[in-house]
């Protein structure tokens, strides 16, 4: 399905996200024939970063060359590039932006929709929203707002209030790109299109769940952003909680935005406030020496915590969440760990360290293209009854001839242009996630150092005991 004709306004067009994801993503959508028949892309940034249209085109070309999956050359590139223009905007003077938007609208003709993507630092969201209202650009416009949306409950409420003075909630698309990942979407298919998994997807069969997103990269020069944000706000309150929402939700009555979001939101309503006693904050050794980082910084680059969903399905089942920078591996996994069998007929199952057996789990790797493995114990060949951990795996990369070739951001940009709010987060849900974070934000435990390339501070093992972390697998 192709969206209606659009003027796409990209705030923060000279920034990191636009360069790495949005400009290449828009070009990929164009190449895939998924942008509207008629569209224009207007880049914007404060006047001190102003570019001419020509400079913006070469900026976009560089971005696609460095971060895209398609070469910015040939006719497809020329077609795309001629639709790019630039209009600077400051709070006091946004005339160049207004002129560029009007010119783009004239070029397409009457009836074009407008979508604005706020790829700007979080502290600039309110300013840009207000500016859109003042310029008369809000009516009929859809607005994509980046994360983190607020830094705590009060700021998220204030930001929502500002948003709602200018936009109706139906115009607002709060983005979390983890919800655009193919394999996160696949969790819905796995659960609700099969009779195999859903009957055991509850406290009667599952002892605990892990959502584990270690990253091997450091802060990659983003000290300014990271010092303000930290891993909890950057990864947990946004991405990992959103994945938890999908894993834990009840079956929606349909897959349309209303019922789907309602069920996800109910999970957030059922979340018990995060208890600081069940949180490990870490900071990788060397972080304080990174350019732009306070030498006494208390910002965490790692968080592991225990979350609890207090409802009929999940009462008593801990959800362990972990994410951090400069860790041993980049992985994005959900693992569901099943109860032990009631009778121990296989003596070696207890494991040498007294921990519970491995295997006996369902692991979803959602780093696109992603895969799913059912892990179980099987008898080793031979006269004795000895067991080994084996598994059955489905891999996206091996299974479908036709891959969409769309990255998470690309799918979400498309959904927003189509007006589908299902993978976006409503105001109340965001506020709820800050509400459950309030105790932790008020009294965060001290950061503990961890070696770069490790799995975090030693205390993460105690957090999940007597269970194990699923990662690294194959221990």
CA–CA separation, 221 and 66 (whole Å): 17
393 labelled ligand-binding: no
296 labelled ligand-binding: no
**Complex with ligand BG6: residue 29 or 88, whichever CB lies closer:** 29
How many CB atoms neighbour CB 344 within 10 A?
11
Binding mask 229-248 for ligand BG6 (x = CB under 6 A): -----x--------------
**Complex with ligand BG6: residue 370 or 457, whichever CB lies closer:** 370
Considering the complex, what minimum distance in angstroms separates the CB of residue 335 from ligand BG6? Answer: 17
48 labelled ligand-binding: yes
**Complex with ligand BG6: residue 2 or 330, whichever CB lies closer:** 330
Considering the complex, what minimum distance in angstroms separates the CB of residue 171 from ligand BG6? Answer: 23
Q: Which residue is nearest to ligand BG6 (CB)?
A: 234
Considering the complex, what minimum distance in angstroms separates the CB of residue 225 from ligand BG6? Answer: 8
Which candidate in 208, 239, 339, 468 is catalytic?
A: 239
Return the residues of window 360-419 that contact ligand BG6 according to CB under 6 A. none
CA–CA separation, 205 and 132 (whole Å): 51
> Total binding residues for ligand BG6 by CB under 6 A?
2
Considering the complex, what minimum distance in angstroms separates the CB of residue 404 from ligand BG6? Answer: 16
**Complex with ligand BG6: residue 185 or 234, whichever CB lies closer:** 234
Plot region of 313 (φ>0 → left; ψ -120 to 50 → alpha; else → beta): alpha
Clarify whether 205 is annotated catalytic. Answer: no
Considering the complex, what minimum distance in angstroms separates the CB of residue 235 from ligand BG6? Answer: 6
**Complex with ligand BG6: residue 208 or 233, whichever CB lies closer:** 233
16 labelled ligand-binding: yes
Which of 215, 300, 415, 473 is the binder for ligand BG6 (CB under 6 A)?
A: 215
147 labelled ligand-binding: yes
109 labelled ligand-binding: no
**Complex with ligand BG6: residue 149 or 469, whichever CB lies closer:** 149
CA–CA separation, 29 and 410 (whole Å): 7
Considering the complex, what minimum distance in angstroms separates the CB of residue 227 from ligand BG6? Answer: 13
Q: Which residues of this protein are in contact with ligand BG6, per CB under 6 A?
A: 215, 234
Residues flagged as binding site for substrate:
177, 181, 215, 234, 325
Residues flagged as binding site for NADP(+):
12-19, 48, 90-91, 147
Residues flagged as binding site:
12-19, 48, 90-91, 147, 177, 181, 215, 234, 325
Q: Return the active site residues.
A: 239
């Amino acid at each position: 399905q192709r969206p209606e004709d659009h003027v796409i306004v990209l705030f923060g067009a000279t920034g990191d996200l636009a360069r790495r994801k949005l400009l290449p993503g828009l070009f990929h959508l164009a190449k895939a024939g998924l942008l509207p028949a008629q569209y224009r892309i207007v880049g914007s940034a404060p006047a001190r970063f102003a570019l001419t249209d020509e400079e913006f085109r070469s900026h976009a070309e560089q971005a696609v060359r460095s971060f895209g999956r398609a070469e910015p050359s040939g006719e497809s590139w020329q077609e795309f590039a001629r639709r790019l223009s630039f209009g600077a905007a400051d709070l006091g003077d946004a005339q160049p932006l207004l002129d560029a938007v009007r010119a783009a609208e004239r070029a397409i003709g009457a009836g074009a929709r407008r979508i604005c993507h706020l790829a700007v630092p979080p502290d600039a969201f309110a300013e840009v929203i207000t500016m859109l209202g003042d310029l008369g650009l809000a009516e009929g416009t859809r607005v994509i707002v980046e994360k983190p949306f607020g830094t705590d409950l009060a700021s998220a409420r204030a930001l929502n209030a500002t948003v709602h003075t200018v936009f109706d909630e139906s115009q607002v698309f709060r983005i979390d790109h983890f919800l655009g990942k193919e394999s996160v979407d696949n969790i819905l298919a796995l659960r609700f299109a099969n009779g195999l998994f859903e009957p055991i997807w509850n406290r009667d069969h599952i002892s605990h769940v892990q959502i584990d997103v270690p990253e091997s990269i450091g802060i990659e020069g983003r000290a300014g952003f990271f010092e303000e944000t930290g891993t909890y706000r950057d990864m947990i309150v946004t991405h990992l909680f959103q994945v938890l929402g999908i894993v834990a939700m009840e079956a929606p009555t349909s897959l349309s935005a209303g019922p789907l979001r309602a069920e996800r939101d109910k999970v957030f309503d059922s979340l018990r406030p995060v208890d600081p006693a069940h949180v490990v904050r870490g900071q990788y050794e060397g972080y304080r020496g990174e350019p732009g980082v306070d030498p006494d910084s208390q910002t965490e680059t790692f968080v592991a915590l225990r979350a609890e969903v207090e409802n009929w399905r999940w009462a008593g089942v801990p959800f362990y969440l972990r994410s951090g920078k400069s860790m041993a591996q980049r992985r994005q996994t959900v693992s569901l760990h099943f109860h032990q069998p009631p009778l121990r007929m296989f003596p070696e199952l207890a494991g040498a360290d007294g921990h519970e057996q491995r295997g006996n789990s369902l692991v979803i790797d959602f780093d696109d293209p992603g895969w799913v493995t059912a892990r179980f114990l099987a008898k080793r060949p031979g006269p004795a009854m000895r067991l080994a951990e084996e598994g059955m795996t489905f891999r996206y990369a091996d299974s479908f001839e036709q891959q969409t070739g769309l990255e998470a951001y690309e799918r979400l940009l498309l959904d927003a242009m189509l007006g589908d709010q299902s993978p976006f987060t409503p105001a109340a849900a965001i506020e709820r996630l800050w509400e459950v974070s309030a105790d932790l934000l008020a009294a965060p435990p001290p950061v503990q150092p961890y070696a770069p390339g490790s799995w975090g501070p030693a205390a993460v093992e105690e957090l999940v005991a007597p269970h194990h972390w699923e990662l690294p697998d194959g221990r």
